[in-house]
């Protein structure tokens, strides 16, 4: 798979969607601009779910047309802005807003999908079929999330083959990539290896697999290392570590992009993202939210692996 890693930024969508205080559109645009300027080329921007369900992202129709398409200073480098689309109504809104990439979201257990989106896993897949068919007709890039791939807050441990079976169905529906999510942050490195082996054993190619780790129990970076060792080259992260775990009140949420970038830099992986720029974006959004910067690199200050010099706090 080589040494090039894709960092898939989820801060603007997953990181902000559960915030109680309304975030102005201009703040979101400023955040995304900083992310693009830092070199991030895949930024999950928003969600076209019902505004009643997620009020924080009710401005999706206004946000998407204003996103910086040139990735900051360079107008020759494009940025992919996937948006979460739950159904045909959301697809129509995304299409009207100018989207060209999407993600659909299901899980490995019925208990989770029934509480999260009000339907079984099978019903969610049926709802996605016309959405993915239309996206394919338009030539959009398509991703499928398999949440609770390691554990479910309602039913406990999840058989990796169950998660893989859902991923296979998503690929059959036409997604380009499946992302296994450790929704409640219970996974450990050995489970990452087991799940990756199960996925490739079912015929899923390594290039089609991404991981979305939560740092609820402090294992996110260790899980990334296990994924790298298994040949995975795409990982989700959220700048500033935004996006807590709603099923574990008070617990840490998404893996922080700055922590992931530091690990990849120091380990010799190419990814094209500048740590200083990510830290700037992290400080911007946490200040806007009125929260402290909790990422490890954010607290300690970065370190330039190439020159052996610090990057200011």
Split into its structural domains, the chain has a count of 1
Q: Which two tokens stand for residue 11?
A: 């801060």
State the CATH number of the domain containing residue 305.
Answer: 3.20.20.70
Residue 93, pLDDT score: 97
Catalytic residues: 245
- Mean local confidence (pLDDT), 190-212: 98
User: pTM surpassing 0.75?
Assistant: yes
Question: Is 111 among the domain residues?
Answer: yes
Ranges 18-27, 74-83, 129-138: which has the least confidence: 74-83
User: For residue 312, what pLDDT band results from cuts at 50, 70 and 90?
Assistant: low
Residue 1 within a domain: no
> What would the pLDDT profile of 125-147 be if each residue is shown by its tens digit?
999 999 999 999 999 999 999 99
What is the C-alpha separation between 259 and 64, in angstroms, rounded? 27
pLDDT in tens, 241-266: 998 776 666 667 899 999 999 999 99
Q: Do the domain assignments include residue 176?
A: yes
What pLDDT score does 20 carry? 84
pLDDT confidence band for 74 (50 / 70 / 90): very low
Determine how many CB atoms are found less than 10 A away from the CB of residue 39. 20
User: What integer is the mean pLDDT of 91-103?
Assistant: 97
For the chain, how far is it from start to end, CA to CA, in angstroms?
34
Check whether 97 has a pLDDT greater than 80: yes
- Within a domain: residue 166? yes
Of 84, 170, 83, nearest in space to 129 by CA: 170
| Structural domain boundaries enclosing 40 | 6-311
* Average pLDDT of span 25-51: 97
Q: Is residue 161 part of a domain?
A: yes
Residues whose CB is less than 8 angstroms from the CB of residue 78 and which lie 6 or more positions away in sequence, other chains included: 41, 69, 70, 71
């Amino acid at each position: 798979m080589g040494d090039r890693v894709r960092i898939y930024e989820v801060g603007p969508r997953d990181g902000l969607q559960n915030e109680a205080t309304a975030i102005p559109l201009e703040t979101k645009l400023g955040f995304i601009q900083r992310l693009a300027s830092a070199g991030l080329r895949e930024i999950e921007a928003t969600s076209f779910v019902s505004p009643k369900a997620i009020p924080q992202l009710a401005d999706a129709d206004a946000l998407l047309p204003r996103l910086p398409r040139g990735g900051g200073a360079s107008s020759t480098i494009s940025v992919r802005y996937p948006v979460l689309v739950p159904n045909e109504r959301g697809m129509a809104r995304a299409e009207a807003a100018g989207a060209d990439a999407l993600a659909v979201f299901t899980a490995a257990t019925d208990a989770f999908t029934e509480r999260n989106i009000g339907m079984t896993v099978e019903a969610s897949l049926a709802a996605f079929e016309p959405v993915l068919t239309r996206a394919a007709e338009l030539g959009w890039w398509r991703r499928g999330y398999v949440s609770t791939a390691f554990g479910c807050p309602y039913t406990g441990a999840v058989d990796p083959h169950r998660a893989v079976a859902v991923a296979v169905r998503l690929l059959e529906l036409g997604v380009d990539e499946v992302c296994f999510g450790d929704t409640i942050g219970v996974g450990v490195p050995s489970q990452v290896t087991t799940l990756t082996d199960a996925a490739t054993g079912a015929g899923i190619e390594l290039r089609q697999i991404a991981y979305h780790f939560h740092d609820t129990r402090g294992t996110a970076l260790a899980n990334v290392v296990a994924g790298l060792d298994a040949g995975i080259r795409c990982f989700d992260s959220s700048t500033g570590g935004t996006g807590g775990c709603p099923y574990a009140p008070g617990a840490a949420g998404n893996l922080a992009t700055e922590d992931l970038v530091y690990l990849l830099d120091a380990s010799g992986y190419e990814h094209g993202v500048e740590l200083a720029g990510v830290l700037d974006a992290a400080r911007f959004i946490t200040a806007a939210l009125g929260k402290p910067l909790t990422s490890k690199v954010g607290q300690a200050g970065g370190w330039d692996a190439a020159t052996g010099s610090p990057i200011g706090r």
